[in-house]
Chain A
Amino acid sequence: MIDLQPFWITFQLALITTALLFVIAIPLAYWLAHSKSKFKSIIETLVSMPLVLPPSVLGFYFLVAFGPSHGLGQFIEHYFNTRLVFSFGGLVVASVIYSLPFMVHPIQSGFSGLSPYLKEASYSLGKSRMDTLRHVLLPNIKASLLTGIVLTFAHTIGEFGVVLMIGGNIPGQTRVASIAIYDEVEAMNYHSANVYAGILFAVTFVILLTVYFVNHRYAITKRL
């Protein structure tokens, strides 16, 4: 019998990661798009690092940092009474960092692409910065927001290397679908591996198809 639990964990992880990143990325992307600070380049580089770093580098750092014998891990264990290695919470934290550029980049380029007049017009009509962001800027970059959300979600589903290094393959907690596939292949259960892989393939296909479809429609309505 095929165990579907790894999929629930994967989708929970992707959902929580996406929600957290959405909240984190909007102010960050806004700042990156408008700031003239000299730290901007440094922050931009840091945000992009997970794109190019091998997941094993991140996994190794997380393993050491989250472990109970090092500063951060000790602090979290002491004050929050939880351990981030080998736990679902740890996977969430790792995924947020790992998928950060996938949320920030689209939103940032969305903000950068908006005409500055839009913001200025809103300000001169007496709207606050917060109101401007919520009612003027964000509604105008819906396509970018959607791209960010979907890419983050899909990328978290595809996460493997980091989870392999800090997850510990615990059923019901950290055994995500990609790990389950790896496991079944190793154990030569090609049938289960096939089913898992097929489901993941189909789900990611549908997700991406939806984005392209919706984005295409946005583009058309914008032109009209």
Chain B
Amino acid sequence: MKKHVYYLSLIVLLFCGFTSKAQKITVAVAANVQYVVEELIPIFKMETGIDVDIVVGSSGKLTAQIAEGAPFDVFVSADMKYPNELYHKGLATVPAKEYAQGKLVLWTNTHGIQPTSDLKILLQGSIVKVAVANPKTAPYGEAAEQAMKYYKVYNQVKDKLVYGESIGQTQQFINTKAAEIGFIAKSQVLTDEMMGKGFWIEIDKKSYAPLMQGAVILKHGKATNAYAAKHFFEFLYTKEARTIFKKYGYIVSEKND
């Protein structure tokens, strides 16, 4: 009996040792920023020794998960609305702070299609399916809908639309050519894998509401990993991080130095 207690306490001690030593946080990341965050993680780890796990999804889906108690420490959203919603519910410790502004692009991976900025290309018969992210949960999907309405093609294109559950699945629909063309984030066409693949054109910013993207520290993060979570959150606004955001086509404001 005594022996058991001894071993048990040894195991418990071991676990305690692990958890206090290796700092690790979990960050919920909107699909469009995953490439940036993936590039930020090694730099952050080098500077602070903190490990970061990421969970990727549409902002709406992640928000719903956080509202139901998902153990995420920081939330990097694709808009301001979802993180602010969490803040008002008391699930985030600060109001959403903008880290970058995203850009919408029209991308095709199908040979012989040349995207046009007036979106008239979408009306062509050769385009059977147009992929967009689900506007209910993905801010880039909402922006795509606004742009189509702005250029007055929405009603004709409506029946061609297919909805990805996040901007990531939307990209996959176009990439596999299951849809001839679609709207995704500029950051997605600037990744190493997508460089030079197909054609893309930036959609005029005046045609959709600005894609202001904000992040928050979550209640769970403050309660369990206060230091690491705050550190990562602040890291998003450093000069180093801004350079990487710019590399992926985001607009970052220079004032918050």
B136 near A183: Cβ-Cβ < 8 Å? yes
B165 near A69: Cβ-Cβ < 8 Å? no
Q: Find chain A residues with CB under 8 A from B134 CB.
A: 169, 183, 186
Interface residues of B in 50-64 (CB under 8 A from A): 58, 60-61, 63-64
Chain A, interface size category, equals 20 to 34
Interface residues of A in 8-58 (CB under 8 A from B): none
Q: Find chain B residues with CB under 8 A from A63 CB.
A: 176, 178
Query: Is B108 interfacial (CB 8 A cutoff)?
Result: no
Distance from B209 Cβ to chain A, minimum over Cβ atoms (Å): 19
Q: Find chain B residues with CB under 8 A from A85 CB.
A: 129, 178-179
Interface residues of A in 162-176 (CB under 8 A from B): 164, 166, 168-170
- Chain A at the B interface: SS class: loop
Q: Find chain A residues with CB under 8 A from B173 CB.
A: 168
Given A169-B163, A183-B136, A187-B137, check contact A69 B176 (CB 8 Å). yes
Pick from B58, B110, B164, B176: contact of A186, CB under 8 Å: B58
Pick from A68, A169, A188: contact of B63, CB under 8 Å: A188
A86 near B179: Cβ-Cβ < 8 Å? yes
Query: Is B152 interfacial (CB 8 A cutoff)?
Result: no
Given A63-B176, A68-B177, A69-B177, check contact A168 B129 (CB 8 Å). yes
Tell me, in angstroms, the Cα distance from A188 to B110 when the chains sit together: 35
Distance from B180 Cβ to chain A, minimum over Cβ atoms (Å): 8
Distance from B100 Cβ to chain A, minimum over Cβ atoms (Å): 24
A186 near B64: Cβ-Cβ < 8 Å? yes
Distance from B174 Cβ to chain A, minimum over Cβ atoms (Å): 11
Query: Is B67 interfacial (CB 8 A cutoff)?
Result: yes
Contact with B along A57-99 (1 / 0, CB 8 A): 0000001101111000000000000010110000000000000
- Chain B at the A interface: SS class: loop
Tell me, in angstroms, the Cα distance from A168 to B129 when the chains sit together: 10
Contact with A along B9-34 (1 / 0, CB 8 A): 00000000000000000000000000
Tell me, in angstroms, the Cα distance from A86 to B179 when the chains sit together: 9
B128 near A188: Cβ-Cβ < 8 Å? no
Distance from B66 Cβ to chain A, minimum over Cβ atoms (Å): 11
Query: Is A209 interfacial (CB 8 A cutoff)?
Result: no
Distance from A76 Cβ to chain B, minimum over Cβ atoms (Å): 13
Q: Find chain B residues with CB under 8 A from A182 CB.
A: 165
A66 near B178: Cβ-Cβ < 8 Å? yes
Distance from B132 Cβ to chain A, minimum over Cβ atoms (Å): 10
Pick from B61, B63, B165, B178: contact of A86, CB under 8 Å: B178
Q: Which of B110, B164, B165: most chain A CB closer than 10 A?
A: B165
Pick from B58, B64, B110, B176: contact of A64, CB under 8 Å: B176
Tell me, in angstroms, the Cα distance from A188 to B136 when the chains sit together: 10
Q: Find chain A residues with CB under 8 A from B163 CB.
A: 168-170
Query: Is B162 interfacial (CB 8 A cutoff)?
Result: yes
In the A-B complex, the 5 residue pairs with the closest CB atoms: A168-B162, A69-B177, A169-B163, A85-B178, A67-B178
Sample 8 A-B pairs with CB under 8 A, ordered by A number: A64-B176, A69-B110, A86-B178, A166-B178, A168-B162, A168-B173, A186-B64, A187-B64
